[in-house]
Structure 1
């Protein structure tokens, strides 16, 4: 029994049309117009497969293929359908569409599982204008409270509660969101790196995920006329922030590890050619498999920031917006994926992920693990993001076999 790769690849192309940019990138953040369209499309397709479909309070989409009743704990597969700005068509959507293809394959072959098999498409896995990434999985696992969510607004003043309501959820029902009945969660995702390509492997089995820390930093100075304010009289926040960005790179480069730190989002105010910037907002992100290392990196970065602050005579305000612990996946689920690959004669490697995923949070709620698909040139979060048909087919069939193994062995 194998998935229908032609059907799957056609769906990847079809979904890639929503939010498509002129350069072939895709911009489909959660709660955008294209996101709402894709949500409706996905739900309609699930219902056409005669699946039971529901949208939970945070607007995660769930669909169930009923089992034969021998187990009342469902196995869940899925990922997310939202994208970063100008991203690719595979990140997230591949995992959701492979999950749907696996269910169609089971239906085509008249296979009935002991467990219910559920698909989930999580809300707002990617960073977004509400500054709440992995929103759906964190809300599901109790890591985002009602008070945090209900006060959230985007840069246009739209309330998250209204955006969720439009997507079919309802924050007022958040207390009902928790799932204690799951047998397992398995997520397929593109690697977004070069490790598989360097080893000439189609797939990798993921046994852990690094921790991710993010601070929103506000640098305050004095906006003024760019022509009449002499250089010695300026308190230029953009110059100060630029030095801080360089300091981040210098600090992390001195650590002999796989730790990384990034300033990937920076907003300059008032952003006019003839005004000295009076405020800059940016987000500092630190990733490492060690909580202690992340703390040490942060400490050294802020020591440099303080020196820049004092020299440049600016002020700094800091708000922590994400402090996600590292995650070790369940050994049984990792083994099921390894056994599935072995049964198909597929070579693989087992490693940790440097990118965060919904599976990080699901691992706190149920037995979880991931399978990665090779990314060509390691590219992701860009229009050039690509995974080959053969690699996708291998990964999807490995996940299918892992689901069958899990169905047989999990209570």
Structure 2
């Protein structure tokens, strides 16, 4: 039994039209117009497959295909349909569409699993204007609560509560519901790196995800006239923030390891040619599989920020917005994937993920695992993001056959 790769590639191209900007990739952040449109499309397609569709309190979309009744807890597959600005067509959406294709394949072959089979599209996996990455899966796993979410709003003043309601959710019901009982969770995703390509492999079996730490940093100086304020009297927030950016790069490089640190979002106020910047907001992110090294680097970065603050006589505010610890995936599910790949004669690598995914939150709830598809040139979060159809087909078929093993064994 194999998936229909032509049907799958057609679905990928179809979904990529939602939020597509000519020459600029796909921009479909959660709660955007394109996101609401693609949600409606996905819901209708699940219904057309004969699935029961529900939208939970945080607006995650669930489709359920009944099993034989022999086993009660569902096996779940999924990922997310939102994208970063100016992103690609594969990140997130591929996992959801492969899951949908697997369901179509099972129906074509008239195979009914012993377990119920569910597909989920999680809300707001990507970083967003509400500052809650992996929002849907974190809420599902009780790592985010209603009281944290209710006060959030974006720059336009739209509240998260209103955005979720428009998507069919209801923040008031988040803490009242029960956690979903699952037998297992599988997520397929592009690698977003070059390890598979460097080994000329199509398929990666992910055994862990690194820890991810993120701060919102504000540097406040003194806004003033750029022509009349002499250099020695300035309290330039941008100059101080610029030194902080350089220090992050220096400290991370000095480790000479796989630990990485990034200033990924940077905003200057009031951002005018003839005004000394009075405030700068930026994000600091540190990722590592080594908690000790990650925590030590964060301390060194914070210490350097405070030294720069004193040097330039500016105010500094650091607020942690995300601190996800590293996680290991389930060894039994990893074995199912390895057995499936071996039986199909498909070479694979077992590797960690340097990117965060919804699966790291599901791992706190149930047996979880991920499958990676080779990314050409390791590019992601870019219009140049690309995976070959033959690599997608191999990875999807490994997932399908591992799913069948899990259904028999769990």
> TM-score under structure 2 normalisation?
0.99
Matches within 5 A, 1:110-121: 110-121=110-121
Matches within 5 A, 1:332-347: 332-347=332-347
Structure-2 residue corresponding to 1:47: 47
Deviations 1:125-158 (A, max 9, x none): 0000000000000000000011001111111111
Contact kept, 8 Å, 2:26 with 2:85, in 1: the verdict is yes
Q: Distance in 1 between matches of 2:241 and 2:288?
A: 23
Q: Distance in 2 between matches of 1:379 and 1:80?
A: 18
Q: Once structures 1 and 2 are overlaid, which stretch shifts more, 168-177 or 6-15?
A: 168-177
Deviation, 1:176, is 4.1
Q: Note if 1:164 corresponds to 2:164.
A: yes
Q: 1:408 to 1:355 in 2, by over 3 A?
A: same
Contact kept, 8 Å, 1:71 with 1:115, in 2: the verdict is yes
Secondary structure class of the residue paired with 2:287 = strand
Structure-1 residue corresponding to 2:4: 4
Q: Distance in 1 between matches of 2:189 and 2:177?
A: 24
Deviations 1:59-90 (A, max 9, x none): 00000111100000100001000000100000
Q: Distance in 2 between matches of 1:239 and 1:121?
A: 42
Structure-2 residue corresponding to 1:356: 356
Contact kept, 8 Å, 1:224 with 1:276, in 2: the verdict is yes
Deviation, 1:27, is 0.7
Query: Which structure 1 residue ranges, 5 or more long, are not aligned?
Result: none
Q: Distance in 1 between matches of 2:324 and 2:355?
A: 11
Structure-2 residue corresponding to 1:220: 220
Structure-2 residue corresponding to 1:80: 80
Structure-2 residue corresponding to 1:315: 315
Structure-1 residue corresponding to 2:234: 234
Deviation, 1:178, is 3.6
Deviation, 1:177, is 4.0
Q: Note if 1:31 corresponds to 2:17.
A: no
Structure-1 residue corresponding to 2:71: 71
Secondary structure class of the residue paired with 1:323 = strand
Q: Runs ≥4 in structure 1, deviation > 4 angstroms?
A: none
Structure-2 residue corresponding to 1:96: 96
Deviation, 1:180, is 4.2
Structure-1 residue corresponding to 2:145: 145
Deviations 1:192-212 (A, max 9, x none): 000000000001000000000
Deviations 1:164-213 (A, max 9, x none): 00000111111244434200001000000000000000010000000000
Deviation, 1:22, is 2.2
Contact kept, 8 Å, 2:212 with 2:325, in 1: the verdict is yes
Q: Distance in 2 between matches of 1:346 and 1:373?
A: 12
Structure-1 residue corresponding to 2:17: 17
Secondary structure class of the residue paired with 2:57 = coil
RMSD over aligned CA atoms reads 0.8
Deviation, 1:373, is 0.2
Q: Distance in 2 between matches of 1:171 and 1:337?
A: 36
Structure-1 residue corresponding to 2:400: 400
Q: Distance in 2 between matches of 1:77 and 1:24?
A: 30
Structure-2 residue corresponding to 1:270: 270
Contact kept, 8 Å, 1:56 with 1:177, in 2: the verdict is no
Contact kept, 8 Å, 1:142 with 1:178, in 2: the verdict is no
Secondary structure class of the residue paired with 2:43 = helix
Secondary structure class of the residue paired with 2:175 = helix
Structure-2 residue corresponding to 1:331: 331
Structure-2 residue corresponding to 1:376: 376
Structure-2 residue corresponding to 1:259: 259
Q: Distance in 2 between matches of 1:58 and 1:348?
A: 36
Structure-1 residue corresponding to 2:391: 391
Deviations 1:221-256 (A, max 9, x none): 001111111111111111111110110010011113
Secondary structure class of the residue paired with 2:181 = coil
Secondary structure class of the residue paired with 2:86 = coil
